[in-house]
Amino acid sequence: MPLVAAAALPHTPQLLVRPDTEDRDLVVRVHAACAEVKRALTDARPDVIAMIGGDHIEGFFLNAVPALAVFVGAEVSGTFDRYRYTFPVHEPLARAIVEQGIEGGFDLTYSQDLVLDYAFYVPLHFAMPEPPRPIVPLYVNVYLPPQPTPRRCYAWGQALRTILDARPERVALLASGGLSHYPGTDRYGSPDYEWDRQLLTILANGQGRQTASLTGDELDKAGNVELRTWITLLGALGEARARVICYEPSWHHGNAVVTWPV
């Protein structure tokens, strides 16, 4: 069955737990944009939320660093501060993605034992449809080099779309991440917002394929290592034109919420 919804959302933890360094009005505007996605997802009535996210060295540490991975357990949990999340996982779809992905030439890692990263549950905190749906966490390595190339991410997204289109479930495909930010570096306070704006224009023009030609160095320089999750989604969406619900640059992070018609 074709996808029933597609969106990309930020996951910065300051959206969930706001220190006084963050502009409250901006945070609330991003919440409102996420609520718009929540309404769209509710209206789309997906059977499952497949979410492409980048692990923040939470589920995977230096014991094993998969480029691309899928969680294939019965449920998955994560915690942050006083927040506790557990999501049922759509095991048949997760397993089909692993099996057919490997058959299609993508050497995926899978796991039935992972701590869920906030890249997944922060967006779901604000955008999970009513009633809640099971999820499939799809991992793209963004923070531990060498990361998969944008070209590979895009190709994985194309393959993923082929797999999903042949499935019986109504799938909403989301990407979590971005845009420009440099946590833990000396550029933390100076993201590349101009780069973000140019990217969003490209996406609004339906030219997402261009992101497959970016290099890892370009993503790192632009504070957009997490864009690999978006690029994977773009591989699944082809020439669809993005609708930018919001772009809210904070003092350290370009918060973008985007949907695509499917």
Partner 1 sequence: MEPHYFFPPAHAYPLNRFLFALKSNDSVRAGYLADAETTAREAGLDSEAAAALRDLDRDRLVACGAHPYLVFMAGLRLRMAGTPAAFERF
Q: Give the shortest CB-4-to-partner 1 separation in angstroms.
A: 27
Q: How far is the CB of 225 from partner 1 (least distance, A)?
A: 6
Is residue 262 within the footprint of partner 1 (CB under 8 A)?
A: no
| 3-state class (DSSP) for residue 154 | helix
Q: Which of 36, 47, 58, 248 binds partner 1 (CB under 8 A)?
A: 58
Residue (of 245, 253, 154, 232) closest to 204 by Cα position: 245
* Bridge partners for 88 per DSSP: 75
CB 209 to partner 1: min, Å: 24
* Gyration radius from the chain CA atoms: 17
209 binds partner 1 (CB under 8 A): no
91 near partner 1 (CB under 8 A): no
Measured distance CA(56)–CA(152) in Å, rounded:
20
Compute the distance between CA of residue 34 and CA of residue 173 in angstroms, rounded to an integer.
15
Three-state secondary-structure class, residue 224: coil
Stretch that binds partner 1, among 20-28, 41-49, 104-112, 170-178 (CB under 8 A): 20-28
State the minimum distance, in angstroms, from the CB of residue 216 to partner 1. 8
Span from 2-10, 42-50, 94-102, 218-226 in contact with partner 1 (CB under 8 A): 218-226
Task: Give the span between the Cα atoms of 55 and 67, in whole angstroms.
Answer: 10
193 near partner 1, rule: CB under 8 A: no
DSSP lists the bridge partners of residue 114 as none
One-letter identity of residue 63? N
Interface map 219-238 toward partner 1 (x if CB under 8 A): -x--x-x-------------
Give the C-alpha separation, 164 to 131, whole Å. Answer: 22
Q: In this chain, which of 85, 188, 197, 246 binds partner 1, going by CB under 8 A?
A: 188
Q: Which helix (H) or strand (E) holds 150?
A: helix 150-165
Among 1, 112, 145, 261, binds partner 1 (CB under 8 A): 145
Q: Does 81 bind partner 1 (CB under 8 A)?
A: yes
Q: Are 149 and 214 in contact (CB under 8 A)?
A: no
Helix (H/G/I), strand (E/B), else coil: 102:
helix
By CB under 8 A, name the one of 2, 24, 105, 189 that touches partner 1.
24
Identify the three-state secondary structure at position 100.
helix
Q: Determine the interface stretch with partner 1 among 42-50, 98-106, 214-222, 240-248 (rule: CB under 8 A).
A: 214-222
Query: Which residue ranges make up the site for partner 1 (CB under 8 A)?
Result: 13, 15-20, 24, 27, 31, 56-58, 61-62, 81-83, 115, 125, 143-146, 182-188, 216-217, 220, 223, 225
